[in-house]
Structure 1
């Protein structure tokens, strides 16, 4: 950036601007809101995609952040070959990051202007605005010889004020889009020049539009007078410079909309690729190999948001998985790890693992259903609504479905019955991975979901083994919360009775429990 850029509001000082999540997500919402195969909103929340996107993108402009988010949500895929080249060539990556650095001057999201509803055409009257101040000056001069001219001067002055009253707020808001447009076009031009100098195949896409971007850039520049304190206010109120600029620059954008759209997507994609390569330079990862729709192999996979995460391995061949495990062993964490790594494989081409062979399919989840007091929706109703949404998503095509503790909000018998029916329907055509404490589901779904158990081995190392959890710890954990020996013994008696009953054995009468008053007396309450 030179002296002209400093004068026009793009000096060399970089300050990363805090954009709200709605701004980061807006490009995706505009480009792929109804696109089949996108990661739906509930799945994005379940898998903490916002937090992961933030981890990826420090020092990245709004353009790169929007593209990373767009890819994570399934709207686009990275150029894996270019990302690999940038990982392997730190010098090239550093050079391109330097070219993209001025993009961080952009302090406003322009995706709505570029990809949103078409801007209305400019009316004819703004082209004559320059006459108002001239007529005002002329009428004031004439008033020294002809006092009646003051009437015209007052009318013209009120006309100038009226124009500012109506249009000033809109013009000020629109002015915030001009700097992002300038730095975007500057970056396109600079990347085109870099291609002309180096003939890098990774920059060939910038060559065709680089000269057009250079020619268009001045259309969004601020006049030098508008960068001087006091001069800008004078020009706005007297010369109507802001209103004239508002209509002129909007017309320039409308006229060159396709070129600006192409520039935004190209520049954002390259910056996103540079960000990914810089992230991978300090990460433990592998390039993901493609697999069939019912196949999945992840070796030593971890969750990138967890410090000191325990690597786990999982392999599926033609069936989904029913995952069991004791309380606190990390079943839900494993599901989130699988889900996020499947998304990064599809969006970016890599996984946080030592080896990965996974399907490049949309991922949909049900992991965090809650009741809603304000909406009058119980937990079970929320779970049913989400299950129905998953069934609808299943109709869009092959996908991976990850479900944690389905149908907790109703009685055990109906929970198992409904869960079996829904999971079986999903697993007939899709890869389903489910975790549940309802171990009864394992034999009911054994033809479609392979039983796997998360537990520690004899050496205390956490792993995933074939089979179903054999020894639960739900009642055992009661001791850690000091319920008392009598209550724990009652829980064990009931558990033993229910177990015999579930096996079809003669369980006898229901077990006698300790007297409640006696237990309260012993507790000292």
Structure 2
């Protein structure tokens, strides 16, 4: 360990033995790094983020991870994978528990951070300190000198000068006190980052080689951001702040340091955040029984794929290849779960390079979904209007470039004929521009879209789920009436209407007979 790093630890002690209580950052804070770098145009929009249960999945990944790692994980999920170096490091760490523990110890201080700093580093450039701040060190001296001269000479106007200087000191303190206190919290996070940078370099591991070349610079900047040790002494903090303006002077001086070292601090942030994100992924994979590294391709092929948030997920194989897929199946069989499983695995493959499957070929296209349309009382929007709005959003996204579209029960909010007609038009257009994976109880959509979407049916064979080519043959919607406690007479009426409708679809006729039978 270098002499500089020893002195740094002495001057900037960290409570290594203190219990870690991860600060509860809100989702908007976690997303701020991605938004600051890339704006609102991420690869995943808000509805897809919700549909694919990514808030829950992100929280699952981010256990024992600071705001730095959380923000980088979020950024990758939104924007896609960084590439081979990150995947290689995750592979290495996933198989080396000792190295994971060593790196986790070096990064533990990051979890004591309670401020988000990506906006400070990557946002709008910090303004230079006003010129008058150069007078701050001299104001306390002038005040004390005027008091001393007034006492010695008895010259009354000097008391007026002293009072004016005292008021100036007080006004400066009142004006900038809150900003200085908040800045101090930001600096604490910055210093934890720089300290982690130094500790990672000292580990000497191949996975942290990127930190070694400029670790000394990180330590030097860290020390330049530190406050005077005197401010930690009992009573000295208040005295130093109100008389000598130590907190305000430190506020402006340290901001100048951050402004001057902005490029290095951004680089340090990106490297520290990337390593902690890789560490979180490696820790996650080490406890995951089923995963594989995905091959990139133009199609989708997932063998025995599962959803990582389901404790007893039933694995399914899904390989529509070059075409999209129309998925049918009985009520409650798991079609929506299958869509979420495929969608999440494609997003994870694009972001991190692996899937929760035995083998996987995954496209690197962005994923968009429509699975949770509903009436909105606040906006006065009916279900069908909400579905139309989402369909327009998906068409606009498709116009930007190829993508994967995951859609569940499109256009439930209108009558059967119009639902089929509108769904056919929208799904066919989306399939011309990208890959569509859709599930629906409207089985007539399968032949209407068979030139674009291959039909697949989810069924249960010998107690196990199976996905096979074809369309559902035996529906169970009416059968569920009996299993759910409906009277037999209700089921009988429903069956009579069903038989009539089935015949009417092929041979339209007057409905008077069936109406009279109810």
Cα 1:338/1:359, change in 2 over 3 Å? same
More moved, 208-217 vs 346-355: 208-217
Following superposition of structure 1 onto structure 2, how do residues 141-220 of structure 1 map, counting pairs within 5 Å? 141-144=148-151, 145-195=154-204, 198=205, 200=206, 202-220=207-225
CA contact (8 A) 2:8 2:223 kept: no
Find the counterpart in structure 2 of residue 247 from structure 1: 252
CA contact (8 A) 1:324 1:437 kept: yes
Find the counterpart in structure 2 of residue 233 from structure 1: 238
Distance 2:166 2:509 in 1: 98
Find the counterpart in structure 2 of residue 488 from structure 1: 491
| 2:400 partner SS | coil
CA contact (8 A) 2:294 2:355 kept: no
Find the counterpart in structure 1 of residue 109 from structure 2: 102
1:29 aligns with 2:38: no
Distance 1:413 1:503 in 2: 14
CA contact (8 A) 1:77 1:346 kept: no
Cα 1:513/1:274, change in 2 over 3 Å? farther
Encode CA deviations 1:224-280: one digit per residue, 9 max, x unaligned.
Answer: 122234321222211111211111111111111111000000111011111111111
Distance 1:3 1:485 in 2: 83
More moved, 244-253 vs 205-214: 205-214
1:442 aligns with 2:446: yes
| 2:156 partner SS | coil
How far apart are residue 51 of structure 1 and its match?
0.9
Encode CA deviations 1:438-465: one digit per residue, 9 max, x unaligned.
Answer: 11111111111111111111x1211212
How far apart are residue 93 of structure 1 and its match?
2.4
1:271 aligns with 2:276: yes
Following superposition of structure 1 onto structure 2, how do residues 249-398 of structure 1 map, counting pairs within 5 Å? 249-293=254-298, 295-398=299-402
Find the counterpart in structure 2 of residue 461 from structure 1: 464
User: What's the TM-score once normalised by structure 1's chain length?
Assistant: 0.92
Encode CA deviations 1:284-325: one digit per residue, 9 max, x unaligned.
Answer: 2333333432x2111111111111111111111211111111
Distance 2:516 2:487 in 1: 14
Unaligned runs of 5+ in 2: none
Cα 1:241/1:216, change in 2 over 3 Å? same
How far apart are residue 6 of structure 1 and its match?
7.5
Distance 1:75 1:19 in 2: 23
Distance 1:472 1:214 in 2: 68
Distance 2:41 2:211 in 1: 27
How far apart are residue 219 of structure 1 and its match?
2.0
| Structure 1 outlier segments of 4+, above 4 Å | 1-9, 505-510
Unaligned runs of 5+ in 1: 516-525
| 1:313 partner SS | strand
User: What's the TM-score once normalised by structure 2's chain length?
Assistant: 0.93
* CA RMSD, 1 decimal: 2.0
Distance 2:102 2:504 in 1: 70
Distance 1:30 1:325 in 2: 43
Find the counterpart in structure 2 of residue 124 from structure 1: 131
How far apart are residue 328 of structure 1 and its match?
0.9
CA contact (8 A) 1:372 1:378 kept: yes
How far apart are residue 5 of structure 1 and its match?
4.7
Distance 2:515 2:503 in 1: 16
Distance 2:100 2:180 in 1: 38
Find the counterpart in structure 2 of residue 16 from structure 1: 22
CA contact (8 A) 2:303 2:360 kept: yes
Match of 1:92 among 67, 88, 99: 99
Cα 1:494/1:229, change in 2 over 3 Å? farther
CA contact (8 A) 2:81 2:352 kept: no
